[in-house]
Structure 1
C-alpha cells in the first residue's frame, strides 16, 4: 500500500511541477514570441503596402488626369451619342428578354443570331 501511495504522490507532484513550469515559464515565453512574430508580420505588411501604394500613385494620378481631360475635351454631342446608344441597347435588351420569357423562347446564345432556335 505504501508503494502505491508513494507512486501516486510522486505522479501528482511531477504533474503539478510540469503544470507550474508550463504556466509560469513556457506559456509567457510562447506568448512573447507570438507577439513578436505578429508585430514583425504587421510591420512587413505595412511596408509592403506602402511600397505598392507608392508605385500605384503615379498611375492613379494619370488615370484621373486622363478622365478629366476626356470629360473636358470630348464634345458633349459625342458623349450624348454614346449615352443614348448605351441606354437604347439596355432598353432593347430588357424588352427582348421580357418578350422571350413571355413567349417561352430560349435565350439567345452569344454569337447566335437565330435566338437559340435549333
Structure 2
C-alpha cells in the first residue's frame, strides 16, 4: 500500500519535462484487495487495515468461481447469466461486491 504510493511519488519527482518541470506522471493509485478469504480469519486483519486506506475501492473474494471463469474463458458476468437460480443465490454476495467495485472504478474513470 504505502510502498506503491511511495514508488509512484518518486516517479512523479523523477520523470519531469525539462523545460516546464511538470511531471509526466499523473496517475492516482487505488487499492483493491485481491483473493481475500471470507472463510476463516486469515484475511480479517488485512481487510480491517486496508479498508481504512483513503484509496481503497473494494475487494475481490477468493472464489473457485474465478478459477472456473478462467478455465472456461468466460467473464464472471457471462457466467452469471448462465447460472440457475440456486447458483445465483449462492453467489449473490460475491456478485454484489463485484458490482459495487466495478461501479466505483467506472465512476472514477468518468470523473477524469
Compute the TM-score of the two structures, normalised by the length of structure 2.
Answer: 0.18
Between structures 1 and 2, the one with greater helix share: 1
Compute the TM-score of the two structures, normalised by the length of structure 1.
Answer: 0.17
Q: Which has the larger radius of gyration?
A: 1
Between structures 1 and 2, the one with greater strand share: 2
Higher relative contact order (CA 8 A, sep 6+): 2
